[in-house]
Chain A
Amino acid sequence: MTPSETIPDKIPDTPMFDRRRANAGYALNKMAMGLSSPEGRAAFLADEDAYLDRFKITPEQRAAVKARDWAEMVRLGGNLFYILKISAVDPTPIREIGAAQAGLSLQEFLETRLGKVTNG
């Protein structure tokens, strides 16, 4: 059980990156930070499991990374600014990452959250 499961967010659905989350997610964010070098990106692409083995992430965090489950990564202490680097290696638009966390289709997300007016 992670601390973020035990104390509700003060602002609903808004995970403040405080000491609880920073502690829970440290290894996960460190793994993602490793992708800011060409060597880290090459290692991740060559053998994702071997790359993940370098870090003390939990089995839950590993599963979330492998599933590219953004909401789950954040729930487990991931911070978007770090885990976004996964989307540079395995391209995923930021709006899709937003929609996935909101539990909406991309189209619904664009319309209801960002007020995009689209035709057809």
Chain B
Amino acid sequence: MAELLAGLGTSHVPSIAAALDKGLRDSAEWKPFFDGYTVAQDWVAARKPDIAVVVYNDHGNSVFLDRVPTLALGVADEYRPADEGWGPRAVPDFPGAADFAWHLADCMVEGHFDPMICRELDVDHGLQVPMELIFGRPEVWPVRVVPILVNTIQYPIPTPQRMWDLGILLRRAIESYPGDEKIIVMGTGGLSHQLQGARAGFINPEADRAWIDRIGADPARYRAMSREDYVEEFGSEGAELIMWLVMRGCMDAQVNTLHRHYFAPASMTGAGMVLLENAA
């Protein structure tokens, strides 16, 4: 069976990508943010995962409102960076783990999750940025990816509990896969931010820090919260945090939080990460 190495939660703010593209990694504004990722980068690099399952939302780049899948799953051999308005970014194409992805498709449908199956999919900053934060800017990505897309833009978005249950299913899929691949699961998005309306610019560092502290050891509250609770506490786009629950639901009840980092604001967003390992 395949092995779940770790779960990571991380922001995927587009300004992070823009900062990297402009060579601002070590600027006064951005260095404290990026430096907070080096422990996790080193930990992951030392363990050489084969596959990264990346749970993210498309931001109106590959998915338009003409058809909105609540859940979608990539089964491609390769994913290109999306054109988000400035042309596709100069990052390498992302190799896909198609065989595991099809296995996951089978497991999802048998487990009563019914994703749209995507054979061609351009991936936006929601997937690109987490990959760059963990693996840097290599010429070739050192892992194959499996994108799981969640609609977090048009209501109804899925419930937090549903995200958690998807995580439980993902764990079963990993452990029933007849390969010996080492897998990391990344839940992405957040933390608090709001781009729309007169409350634009809302961030909630106190709630963000509590999330970072508790998502590993004591996540029950976040699983029980409603979608509206997320919007109120983390902002309209901060509700992306529900995607971290897929990662957390995939892990054991008892985990070790190996690393945590928080920084605000990154552009208009509370930003940060956790690295979790099963305790047993």
B155 with A15: CB separation less than 8 A: no
Give the contacting residue for A101; candidates B60, B153, B155, B200; CB below 8 A: B200
A101 to B60, CA, bound (A): 20
Give the contacting residue for B154; candidates A14, A22, A89, A109; CB below 8 A: A22
- Mask, A15-34, CB within 8 Å of B = 1, is 11111001000100110010
Instruction: Say yes or no for B128: interface residue by CB 8 A criterion.
Output: no
A82 to B162, CA, bound (A): 27
Give the contacting residue for A17; candidates B83, B87, B154, B202; CB below 8 A: B154
Give the contacting residue for B201; candidates A19, A38, A99; CB below 8 A: A99
B156's nearest neighbour on chain A, judged by CB, is A18
Task: Specify which chain A residues have a CB less than 8 angstroms from the CB of B82 in the assembled complex.
Answer: 36
A37 to B84, CA, bound (A): 9
A87 to B203, CA, bound (A): 22
Instruction: Say yes or no for A84: interface residue by CB 8 A criterion.
Output: yes
A14 with B199: CB separation less than 8 A: yes
A114's nearest neighbour on chain B, judged by CB, is B265
Residue among A16, A33, A88 with max Cβ neighbours from chain B (10 Å)? A16
B199's nearest neighbour on chain A, judged by CB, is A13
* Contact A30/B65 with A88-B85, A94-B267, A115-B264 known, Cβ cut-off 8 Å: yes
A75's nearest neighbour on chain B, judged by CB, is B197
Interface of A is mostly: helix
A21, chain B: closest CB distance, angstroms: 9
B119, chain A: closest CB distance, angstroms: 20
Task: Specify which chain B residues have a CB less than 8 angstroms from the CB of A103 in the assembled complex.
Answer: 198
B267 with A81: CB separation less than 8 A: no
Task: Specify which chain B residues have a CB less than 8 angstroms from the CB of A109 in the assembled complex.
Answer: 201
Task: Specify which chain A residues have a CB less than 8 angstroms from the CB of B205 in the assembled complex.
Answer: 115
* Contact A88/B195 with A16-B236, A36-B61, A114-B265 known, Cβ cut-off 8 Å: no
B237's nearest neighbour on chain A, judged by CB, is A80
B65 with A94: CB separation less than 8 A: no
B188, chain A: closest CB distance, angstroms: 15
A116 to B268, CA, bound (A): 10
A48 to B265, CA, bound (A): 35
A8, chain B: closest CB distance, angstroms: 12
A82 with B231: CB separation less than 8 A: no
Task: Specify which chain A residues have a CB less than 8 angstroms from the CB of B38 in the assembled complex.
Answer: none
Instruction: Say yes or no for A59: interface residue by CB 8 A criterion.
Output: no
Which positions 232-254 of chain B face chain A at CB distance < 8 Å?
232, 235-236
Which positions 260-280 of chain B face chain A at CB distance < 8 Å?
264-265, 267-268
A18's nearest neighbour on chain B, judged by CB, is B155
A11 with B231: CB separation less than 8 A: yes
B64 with A79: CB separation less than 8 A: no
Task: Specify which chain A residues have a CB less than 8 angstroms from the CB of B202 in the assembled complex.
Answer: 14, 113
A103 to B201, CA, bound (A): 11
B195 with A80: CB separation less than 8 A: yes
Q: Which residues of B contact A (CB under 8 A)?
A: 15, 59-61, 64-66, 82-87, 153-155, 194-203, 205, 228, 231-232, 235-236, 264-265, 267-268
5 more contacts with CB within 8 A, not counting A81-B60, A95-B268, are: A13-B197, A74-B196, A80-B196, A98-B195, A113-B200
